[in-house]
Chains A and B, each alone.
Chain A
Amino acid sequence: MSGRSSLALAGSAVVAALLFSAAPANAQPVTPPAHYANVQLADPAKEASAKALMETLRCLVCQGQSIADSDAEMAADMRALVRERIARGETPASVRDWLVSRYGDYVTYDPPLSGLTWPLWLAPIALLAIGGWIARSSFRRRTR
C-alpha cells in the first residue's frame, strides 16, 4: 500500500516537473514596460484627462476591459502611449482619433454615430418609446 502511494507520488512529481519545465503558454515580453505604463503624469489635470481617455479605450487582447483596468502588457504599452501624447499637449480626442485610424471603432468604448453603429444609439430610444407606449395603454386600461 505504502509502496503504491510512493509510486503515485513519484508519478505526480514527474508530471509536475514536466508541467513546470514546459515553455510558458502565456509568454510575456522580456523587457519591462515603458515608464508611463504604470506611472502617473506629474500634472494632475493632464493625468485626469489621460485617465478619462484610458477608461474609454478597449484593451485589444482582453475582451471587455479598458486599458485602464487591464494588466495585459499591450494595455500597458497603450497607457504609456496615451500618457506620453497627452503630456506632449495633444488633446484626448486627437489621441483617440489616432488609435481609431489604426484599429477602427473597435478600440473605443465611445463609438461615433455611423452607418454601422446607429442601432446602438437608436435601440435604447426605440425601447424606451415602446415601454412608454405599453405603460400608457396598460394605465389607460386600469382607469377604465
Chain B
Amino acid sequence: MKRFALWAPLAIFALLFAVVASGLFRPADKVVRSAMVGKPLPDFALPAMVPGKPGLTSASFKSGQPRLLNVFASWCVPCIAEAPHLMRLKTMGIPIDAIAIRDTTPAIAGFLRRNGDPYARIGSDTASRVQLALGSSGVPETFVVDGRGIVVKQIIGDIREDNIGEIVQAVREAR
C-alpha cells in the first residue's frame, strides 16, 4: 500500500503527460460535419441569383439524377480556388447547382465572369437560412445529392484536385 502511494503521483503524471502529448501530436478534428448526410434535403425554395439562370428549390433534386449542391459566395476566397475543379466536374457530365450565401447579383455575375460558371441553377440565400438548414458551417462546401433528394456526401472546404475522384465515385454510386 505504501509502495503504491509512493508511485501513484508519478503514474498519474505519466498518464496526464500521455493525454496532453497525444493531443499535441494528433490535434483534434475541429471540422463541423453536417448531420444531414444520409437524410433528405430540407425543403427550400430560393429565388434566382443572376438573370437568365433559374433559382433553386429542393424539388429539383428529385429528378432521378444525382447532382452536386455547391454552397459558395463571391466574397469567399477559397471558392476561387475550387472554381476550376468544379468546371472540370461539369465537363465530366456532373450537374452542379449552387446556393450563393449573402450575396448580390452584380457580385455573383462578376465572380462567374472571372472564374467560370459551372452551375445549372443558383439560388440566393440572403440570410444563410438554407445554409443553416443544410448543416453547413461555412463556404465553400459541396453536397452530393442522389436522385431522390437524399444527401449522400459532404465535402467541407474547397474542392481540390485529389477530391475529384471521391466525388465522381460518390455520384456514380448514387445513380
Tell me the A residues contacting B by CB distance below 8 Å.
23-25, 27-31, 33-34, 60-61, 63, 73-74, 77-78, 80-81, 99-104, 106-107
Q: State which of B101, B102, B126, B135 has its C-beta within 8 Å of the C-beta of A103.
A: B135
Tell me the B residues contacting A by CB distance below 8 Å.
30, 32-36, 73-77, 101-104, 107, 126-129, 131-135, 137-138
Q: Which residues on the A side are within 8 Å of B102 (C-beta)?
A: 29-31, 73, 77
Chain A residue with Cβ nearest B126:
A31
Q: Which residues on the A side are within 8 Å of B30 (C-beta)?
A: 63
Chain B residue with Cβ nearest A36:
B127
Interface of chain B, main secondary structure: loop
Q: Is the CB of B134 within 8 A of A102?
A: yes
Chain B residue with Cβ nearest A81:
B132
Q: Which residues on the A side are within 8 Å of B34 (C-beta)?
A: 102-103
Using A31-B126, A61-B137 as known contacts, say yes or no to A103 and B104 having CB atoms under 8 A apart: no
Q: Which residues on the A side are within 8 Å of B137 (C-beta)?
A: 60-61, 74, 103
Alpha-carbon separation in the docked complex, A86 to B127 (Å): 17
Alpha-carbon separation in the docked complex, A131 to B48 (Å): 62
Using A60-B32, A102-B34, A103-B34 as known contacts, say yes or no to A29 and B103 having CB atoms under 8 A apart: yes
Q: Is the CB of B103 within 8 A of A30?
A: yes
Determine how close the nearest CB of chain B comes to the CB of A99; give it in whole angstroms. Answer: 8
Interface centre among B33, B35, B129, B133 (most CB of A within 10 A): B35
Q: State which of A30, A101, A103, A104 has its C-beta within 8 Å of the C-beta of B74.
A: A30
Q: Which residues on the A side are within 8 Å of B76 (C-beta)?
A: 27
Determine how close the nearest CB of chain B comes to the CB of A52; give it in whole angstroms. Answer: 20
Alpha-carbon separation in the docked complex, A74 to B73 (Å): 13
Q: State which of B32, B33, B36, B75 has its C-beta within 8 Å of the C-beta of A27.
A: B75
Determine how close the nearest CB of chain B comes to the CB of A79; give it in whole angstroms. Answer: 11
Alpha-carbon separation in the docked complex, A141 to B97 (Å): 73
Determine how close the nearest CB of chain B comes to the CB of A7; give it in whole angstroms. Answer: 33
Chain B residue with Cβ nearest A107:
B32
Alpha-carbon separation in the docked complex, A77 to B74 (Å): 18
Q: Which residues on the A side are within 8 Å of B126 (C-beta)?
A: 31, 34
A-B contact pairs, 25 of them (CB 8 A): A25-B77, A28-B75, A30-B75, A30-B102, A30-B103, A33-B127, A34-B126, A34-B127, A60-B138, A61-B137, A74-B128, A74-B138, A77-B127, A77-B129, A80-B127, A81-B127, A81-B129, A102-B34, A102-B133, A103-B32, A103-B34, A103-B135, A103-B137, A104-B32, A104-B33
Alpha-carbon separation in the docked complex, A23 to B75 (Å): 10
Given A81-B129, A99-B132, A102-B35, 18 extra CB contacts under 8 A = A23-B77, A25-B77, A27-B75, A27-B77, A29-B73, A29-B102, A30-B74, A31-B102, A60-B137, A61-B138, A74-B137, A80-B127, A101-B35, A102-B36, A102-B132, A103-B32, A103-B35, A104-B32
